[in-house]
Structure 1
Amino acid sequence: MSADASWRFDAIGTTWTVHTEQDVPAELRGDVLGLIDAFDREWSRFRADSLVSSLASGGQAPAPVDTAAMLDVYRELADATDDAVTPLIGGSLEALGYGARPVASGAPAPAPSWRDTLRWHDDLVLSAPAVIDVGALGKGRLADRVFDLLRSRLSGAVVVDASGDVRLDCAGEPVRIALEHPYDPTRAIGVASLTTGAVCASATNRRAWGDGLHHVLDGRTGLPVDVVVATWAFLPDAMHADALATALFFDGGPELAQAWGAQWIRVLSDGRAEYQLTDANIELFR
């Protein structure tokens, strides 16, 4: 980027950084923050006033604008991973202590069958108590929407970095993105030099709150995964990249990546790396 005006702010529990060639005007900043807050009011299980919190006991409500885009991809994730990835993982996370509601037991709780419980079209419907959690791809979806809003009103390069979910268009001038080592955040296992598209990362050392407890759970068991410790996915949009970064923690993830035409990396708990890279601009250090 020939010039770099940065805007940094906190939202949805993480830090966002926007890089543009011109300062983001105050009105546009307000629109971005309003977009994020509206998404949070609909999809955050940490807010008592959110739509998903209101549905936790079962019921229905008009489907928010992002519903089909996200939940249709969740169907693909669930099919690819034999339901290890599920949009009803929220209760399992709360059972292990990651949530706003009181924890009843602290024991692992498998997610209920979303196929029997969750429907969406004009309305979002839960036919039984359950907690919707779109964490497998929601931040990527929101990064795409913020990027699209900025791109529609600003000229030149735009980079949206939502703490691990990056969407960018740099007009041919690459941005170097370090791939953080999952066991040492001061080191990188590689670097990606990207001009457009998205890269999303997920790791078990992020959003961890206890010994062996982290945010990537297997919906079939309610237990945190322990074979894969970090993933990266490269695709044109952040929602699909974020979704794939989650799927890569499970069997079926690499096959989904192939179906989507994605490049990817995952690091196993024994330190080995598995990957499918075809772009010379994505380099792993040996």
Structure 2
Amino acid sequence: MFKKILVLSILASSVLFAKLTVTTTIYPLYSVVKEVGGKNVVLNNLIPFGTEPHDFEPNPKSMALLSKSDLFITSGKVMEPWSTKVVKSMEIADKTFDMSKHVKLVAHKEFEDGKVYDPHYWLSFDNYIKMIKNVESLLIKKDPANKKSYEKNSDAYLKEITALQTKYQTLKTCKNKKVIVNHDAFGYLANDYGITQYSISGMSPDEEPSAKQIAELIKIVKKENIHTVFFEEFASDKIAKTIADEANVKTDELSPVENITEKQNEENVGFVTIMTENLAKLKDAMNCQ
């Protein structure tokens, strides 16, 4: 009898203290779940650190992660065209949450019919705040026993993000609010602060511009007095450096925070750190007060 009670007690304890397993697709989602979930969540990111998200395709390891997850959070069909098929084939719609359906989206400028949205919505702080609140609600719904912990973590992270959002208001004082970036990833940020974004490639950093487009960008840099050409860590900087050399200006890295490196993750370099670094670089590039 005693052994039976002991076994039941152990089983009850294991259920009580079992952690919620969450899988996200891209780093911005991972960063939110990491901060809000804290120690109560076992967190996996489907797209490996150091990988360009636009190039990712799921593999058997990805499927294994998803099969063991209590919750799967995707960023949407534009960034992850493979996700719909995966969710359907694995029959996991009941535990899948598409974040793109819960934030404010804008149409991508390459598609005038508005049917394709810009998938980089986390670069609007208003959207990132929505992401935090959505994740908080999701985790509480799945794991109500740790509600207070999720609420506390969410409140703390919201304070960090809103403080950083306030600092970004200085971009409205810039003398030259024009930037040239590696790909069309900064549309939301540009919209929020009245910045004109010129990009080397299109929605994906792998798109190669023609010689004519490169020549046009060199003219724009000179005409608009742009003194920094931005590149990205997970894409080639060759064309950015070519444009900068021809226009006699400098280059610098600006992160769309689509992903981070394994080392950055180990060092706990997160969204706030990267966006703080981005702010300093943008202020320098646009002659902000």
TM-score norm. by structure 1 comes to 0.26
**1 or 2, which has the higher helix percentage?**
2
TM-score norm. by structure 2 comes to 0.26
